[in-house]
Amino acid sequence: MYGVFSGPVGGFAPREHLCVGCLRCTTQYPEFVRILPNPARSSLGDSYFTPDRVDTVCYEARSGKVPVKGAGYRGPFGGSGWDGLWTDMSEIVRPTRDGIHGREFISTVIDIGAKPWRVTIADEQPSRRPPQLLSIPIPVLFDAPPAALLTDTVVRTLATAAEATETLVVLPVESLGKSAPRGRHIVPLITGAHLAALQQLGFEPAMLELAGWDQQLFAQVQAQFPRSIVCLRMDLPSTDALLRAWASGVRVFHLLANYHGRGSDGRFAIDLFREAHKALVAERCRDEGTILGGGGIIAAEHVPKAIICGCDGVSLDTPLLVALQAQFAGEAVRRETSSFKLPSRFTVDWGVMRITNLMASWRDQLLEVMGAMGLREVRRMRGEMGRAMFQTDLEREAFSEIAGYVS
């Protein structure tokens, strides 16, 4: 039916790549046909970016489509991390299906920057630099790949894909040499050691990112790029440092877990994003700034889940590499220590197409989730924890009276 046995010599040389694993042949002819899981597949990815996830990202990057399949869900019940969270749906509220198919508008635009409630005037001058704000049409940014992968082709691919999808790409400033691409969509990642490279940047980015907190560098960058947003990159957990940086004037944060979604204390990004979000809510300033979350976001559903947990937008790391058919060399846990093998030769056009497809697919899947929730704007999804269902909470409620249940 799928052409596996339709080659010139039929079953003697099955065309294995066409097999969809329906098991009809082996059901009919148990004595002749065995369908075995492909051992090469099980070596894809790593313990976090599982072969199933790799398959899905590759399909999305190839087709640009939403993966649609028959039969029900086939995986584990829930799980740690993102799998322990379900998003809400509404039985009666629009937009939903109409919005998913474009007949009603569902906005996936997010704003990045500072949104002060008011401008305070002192000595007839505004007390702060004017607020900088930019909007991107999808709540997804591209994060810098490991340093070893920053070849000219990779840099161009990421930069061109970011431009094509009207988002931003974080790239170390030292990788933005003379022949590197230019444009507002490129976010130079800077440390004090690379100030010279920053002087020679040759363009005005919409946003710059400090690799860590440095009061002096922050002031310098603000002075040099008065019309650009300055974002602070921080490893999770970061609540105390975040509040200190807030007090020093930072309004955009890029909070990062490792590639497996864990903070340095071992907790998962769900808790860490929620903690950071709630800290700003408690300070009554959440709406005045932006939280971008990254690390461990490797599937389309992780985007709305991270936003529900308090991020305004998310940054992608390993999925971009998987979209470019990178192979994992061992466990990829931290950017600094992970290694990948990209295809030996690929063109920028091919890479851009793959990443653009991935973004198209993920945006459409975001619409599915928002449609089901009855939300018209992704901005309204941020921190909507009441529209999420956490496995631990639901199980406590459902099973706590059952003998043997331990929360």
Partner 1 sequence: MSAKPESIEQIIAQKHIECLHRGFHVWPALEYGKPPAMGDSRWTADLILSTWMQAETGQPPSNGLEYRTGQSGGGFDVLHLKFLPPEHWLADDAAIDLSIPLNRRDYDRQIRIPVPFYGAGMSYGSISENVMLARAMAARKWDTFTCTGEGGYPESLVSYKDHVITQIATGMFGVREETIQCAPIIEFKYAQGAKPGLGGHLLGDKATTTVAQMRESVPWVSLFSPFPFHSVYSVEDHKKHIDWVKTINPAALVSVKVSTPTDIDMVTVGSYYAGAHIVQIDGSYGGTGAAPEIAKKNIAMPTELAIPRVHRYLVAEGIRDELVVMASGGLRTAHDIAKVIALGADGAILGTAELVALGCTRCSNCERGRGCPFGLTTTDPELQRLVEPEWGAARLSNLYQSFQSELRTILRQLGLQNIRDLRGRKDLLLYRGDVKAS
Residues 25-64 that bind ligand SF4 (CB under 6 A): 25, 35
**130 within 8 A of 321, measured Cβ to Cβ:** no
Secondary structure class of 190 (helix, strand, coil): strand
Length of the chain counted residue by residue? 407
User: Quick one: 67 or 343, whose CB is closer to partner 1?
Assistant: 67
Sole window of 15-23, 154-162, 259-267, 366-374 interacting with ligand SF4 (rule: CB under 6 A) = 15-23
70 touches ligand SF4 (CB under 6 A): yes
13 binds, among ligand SF4, partner 1, none (CB under 5 to 8 A by kind): none
Nearer to partner 1, 38 or 222 (CB): 38
Q: Which is nearer to ligand SF4, 5 or 390 (CB)?
A: 5
Options 4, 110, 162, 230; binder of ligand SF4; rule CB under 6 A: 4
- Judged by CB under 6 A, the chain residues 317 through 376 that form the site for ligand SF4 are none
Minimum separation from the CB atom of position 364 to ligand SF4 (A): 23
- Is 66 or 133 the residue whose CB approaches partner 1 more closely? 66
SS3 282: helix
| Binder of ligand SF4 out of 23, 89, 147, 193 (CB under 6 A) | 23
The whole-angstrom separation of Cα 214 and Cα 221 is: 11
Q: Residue with structure tokens 């046995």? A: 5
Rounded Cα distance between 277 and 238, Å, is 11
Residue with tokens 């970061």: 238
**Min separation Cβ 392 and ligand SF4, Å:** 31
Q: Which two tokens stand for residue 123?
A: 């000595």
What are the structure tokens assigned to 398, written together?
């459902």
> Rule CB under 6 A: is residue 22 a binding residue for ligand SF4?
yes
Residue 371 contact among partner 1, ligand SF4, none, beta carbon within 5 to 8 Å by kind: partner 1
Nearest residue (CB) to ligand SF4, 68 versus 71: 71
96 or 356: whose CB is closer to partner 1?
96
Q: How far is CA 195 from CA 159, 189, 190, 230, in A?
A: 21, 11, 7, 15
CB under 8 A, 24+ apart: contacts of 173-176: 173/197, 173/198, 173/201, 175/144, 175/150, 176/201
Residue 134 touches which member of ligand SF4, partner 1, none, C-beta under 5-8 Å by kind: none
What's the CA gap between 167 and 159, in Å, rounded?
A: 9
**In terms of CB distance, is 4 or 306 closer to ligand SF4?**
4
Residues sharing a CB contact under 8 Å with residue 2, sequence separation 6 or more, in sequence order: 18, 19, 20, 22
Contact 200, 222 (CB under 8 A): no
CB 173 within 8 A of CB 210: no
Using the structure block, give the residue that is written with the tokens 């050691």: 193
Q: Taking the complex as a whole, how short is the minimal distance between the CB of residue 31 and ligand SF4, in angstroms?
A: 14
**DSSP code per residue over 164-195:** HTT--EEEEGGG--TTS---TTEEEEE-GGGH
Interface with ligand SF4 (CB under 6 A), residue from 7, 10, 21, 177 = 21
What residues between 181 and 210 interact with ligand SF4 by CB under 6 A? none
Q: Which of partner 1, ligand SF4, none lies near 4, with the C-beta cut-off 5 to 8 A by kind?
A: ligand SF4
Residue 203 site contact among partner 1, ligand SF4, none (CB < 5 to 8 Å, cut-off depends on kind): none
Is residue 313 exposed (0-12), middle (13-18) or buried (19+ Cβ within 10 Å)? Answer: buried
Question: How far is it, in rounded angstroms, from Cα 20 to Cα 68?
Answer: 14
Q: Which is nearer to partner 1, 204 or 384 (CB)?
A: 384
Q: Which of 7, 10, 11, 24 binds ligand SF4 (CB under 6 A)?
A: 24
CB 274 within 8 A of CB 307: no
**Residue 329, binding choice from partner 1, ligand SF4, none, Cβ under 5 to 8 Å by partner class:** none
Minimum distance of partner 1 from residue 37's CB (angstroms)? 5
Q: Least distance (Å) from partner 1 to the CB of residue 23?
A: 4
**How would you class 102 by CB atoms within 10 Å of its CB: exposed for 0-12, middle for 13-18, buried for 19 or more?**
exposed
Nearer to ligand SF4 among residue 35 and residue 333 (C-beta): 35
Query: What does the binding site for ligand SF4 look like in residue numbers (CB under 6 A)?
Result: 2, 4, 19-25, 35, 70-71
